[in-house]
Amino acid sequence: MSSNVIIAVTSIVLVGGAALAEAQTAAPSGEKSLAATLNVYVFPTAGQAPGQQSTDEAACYDWAVQNVGVDPFALQKQAQQAQQQAQQAQQQAAQAQGEIAAAGKGAGAKGAVGGAAAGALIGEIANDDAGEGAAWGAAAGAVIARRRSRHAQAEASQQVQQQTQQVQQQAAQAQQATAEQMANFKKAFSVCLEAKKYMVKY
């Protein structure tokens, strides 16, 4: 065997060995398995290859969806939508509270103006002094308007608080229902994988 052939064969062996070592030590692709996206940990106890494990996970996912009647990815979207709706409702409630407070501040001034006009008329008729009547009327009108406004504010504020509590309760109930459905799905998913000789924890 000539020296050129020996060098060529040695180069092929060295390059091939380096490529194999690089392939073995290469970082994983970074893509999560189906089970990992569900926070389920799966170990192949019978030495199943990664491709076989992916196939088995997909089959068990479909089986669990059919038997439990829940698709985790659809469930996740529903949970996100419910959370967004709850946040919007809370923002609307906060805005309504701000509007109620602003309306209460203007009520006293409006009552004073209305009271002054009525007081001026009464003062003019009673003792020919519209100014004094206007002053008394303005004070009385402001007091009455503030009382009415406070009462209306209290009622409106109570309604807003009740609505906010209802939204929070509904959101909590939806979260609990979602958690229960996910737990049932993971049980079914795990049973299927265990039957295919995988160790499963979640």
Average pLDDT, the chain: 74
Residue 3 pLDDT > 90: no
Look at the pTM and tell me if it is higher than 0.85. no
Residue 45: strand, helix, or coil: coil
Which residue type is seen at 34?
L
Confidence of residue 41 (pLDDT cuts 50, 70, 90): very high
Rounded CA gap, 64 and 51, in Å? 20
Higher model confidence: residue 129 or residue 68? Answer: 68
Q: How many CA atoms lie within 13 A of 128 on its CB side?
A: 0
Residue 17 pLDDT > 80: no
Rounded CA gap, 93 and 99, in Å? 10
Rounded CA gap, 48 and 195, in Å? 13
Confidence of residue 78 (pLDDT cuts 50, 70, 90): confident
Tell me the pLDDT tens digit for each residue of 155-180.
777 877 887 788 788 888 888 989 99
Confidence of residue 10 (pLDDT cuts 50, 70, 90): very low
Residue 89 pLDDT > 70: yes
- Among the listed residues 187, 190, 192, 196, the one whose alpha carbon sits nearest the alpha carbon of residue 45: 196
Which pLDDT belongs to residue 200? Answer: 97
Which pLDDT belongs to residue 5? Answer: 38
Rounded CA gap, 116 and 124, in Å? 12
Helix (H) or strand (E) run with residue 33 in it:
none
